[in-house]
Amino acid sequence: MSKLLLQKIIFGILFFSSAVFAEELGLPLHGFADASGGFSSRSTPIDQRISGFKLGTVDLYLTPEFDDKVKSLIEIAFEPDRGTGGINLDVERLQLGYTVTNNDTIWFGRFHTPFGVWNNAYHHGSQLQTSIYRPKFIDFEDAGGIVPAHSVGIWDKGIIRLKKSRINYNTYLVNGSRTILDGTSGPGALDMNNYRNDKNNFMVGGTISSYHDLGITDSFEIGLHGFLTTINSYNGDTYDLTAVHSTDVKMFGGFFSFNKNNWELLSEYYGFYNKDKLVSGAPLLKSHAAFAQFTYNINSIYSSYFRAENSSLNQNDSYFKDQLSGRSYTRYSLGFKKNINSRAAFKLEFLHTSKDENLNPYNIVQYSYAIRF
């Protein structure tokens, strides 16, 4: 048994023990789990092209509150490695919060980067999410995402209440991510730098939106988001290596969500304005990615949805070129979800992807059975 596997088992036992202890103290342990299966016409370990049955994620989270103003959110996920099939253990979120006022909380630690709506609405809770897959370009870093979905640093989340609506805002200062190239400079994946900054590269960003309540569970929100950072690419994951590429990454975009009666509409746009830092006089390279999802719900039991995604990513831009999933693509998804009860859902989804890596289009059909507890 490898040392790493033994460490994971011990950590898992410790976490479960502390969770049981926490439960006895009256601190509820929550979680999500899912299992799925399906077929892909092009089955490779990268992205989401998988044929066969698949263990989903066992996601456990605790929300201990310590006094009037101190709260926390700890989320641990066990999930299969997409490359090897082994089980990985990840501290997905470790947020320590201070409630400044009813309308403002400052979070410290690791969190889901607050851009758009999706990344902070569903996290790893498969049962909450209408579709099986997240939009591909905002998927998690190890699952095909091309923007830093996780961050480590400080995040201020707040609202300004107006007479008939409110302004939501998020600002954050976090470690800048880096790209770990695969082997000999092959494309790799983003790493959010859990432990320290990468050559003093921070990421600073935020969102601002106008939010209107249309009922207890109905709403309309429209907003802007953006971040600034430098992303370096390295041949290895140890710190203080020499960067192979270094890119100034600027992202600006917008998002929109509407939820009324049986209808849901969610759309996000990401515009990238990047520049190579290691080449003098390098041009500004523009790219973009966007998705829109329409959902129709019947009696809070059945949902059907359609999603369109498109990205146009400049291949002269090292930020995209160095990422395994940094290729332009178009994807259409059509799906169906049935809530078996308030804590279990069955989903069926069909996806058609084209333009990906300039190869032939491919299709995926997949089911998922997801629960929360």
Partner 1 sequence: MKLLYFLILGISSFQLFAIDIFIVCSPDINITKTEIKESYIGNKQLAGSIKLNLVENKSLQNEFLTKVIGIDKSKYDALWAKKSFQDGINAPKVKGSDSDVIDFVKNNSGAIGYVSSPAGLKVIAKF
Using CB under 8 A as the criterion, which residues of the chain lie in contact with partner 1 when the complex forms? Answer: 28, 30, 61, 63, 65, 67-69, 71-73, 95, 97, 99, 101-102, 105, 120-121, 123, 125, 128, 215-217, 300, 342, 372
- SS3 state at 1: coil
Nearer residue to partner 1 within complex by CB, 7 or 261? 261
Torsion, Cα of 152, 148, 56, 19 (10° steps): 10
Nearer residue to partner 1 within complex by CB, 27 or 173? 27
Nearer residue to partner 1 within complex by CB, 257 or 274? 257
Closest CB 339 distance from partner 1, rounded Å? 8
**Cα four-point dihedral sign 214, 219, 222, 223:** positive
Nearer residue to partner 1 within complex by CB, 3 or 164? 164
Q: Report phi then psi at 321, rounded to 5.
A: -60, -35
To which residue do tokens 């939820």 refer?
259
Closest CB 68 distance from partner 1, rounded Å? 4
Closest CB 136 distance from partner 1, rounded Å? 22
Q: Give residue 142's identity as a one-letter amino acid code.
A: D
List Cβ<8 Å contacts ≥24 apart for 165-168: 165/210, 165/211, 165/212, 165/213, 166/210, 166/211, 167/208, 167/209, 167/210, 167/211, 168/207, 168/208, 168/209, 168/211, 168/221, 168/223
Q: Report phi then psi at 162, rounded to 5.
A: -110, 180
Nearest to 15 by CA among 68, 62, 67: 62
Closest CB 108 distance from partner 1, rounded Å? 12
Closest CB 22 distance from partner 1, rounded Å? 12
Nearer residue to partner 1 within complex by CB, 72 or 354? 72
Q: How many CA atoms lie within 13 A of 287 on its CB side?
A: 27
The secondary structure element, H or E, covering residue 158 is strand 150-161
Nearer residue to partner 1 within complex by CB, 94 or 241? 94
Closest CB 92 distance from partner 1, rounded Å? 11
DSSP 118-140: HHHHTTT-TTTSSSSSPPGGGS-
Closest CB 306 distance from partner 1, rounded Å? 22
Tokens (6 digits) for 341 = 């009860």
Nearer residue to partner 1 within complex by CB, 72 or 235? 72
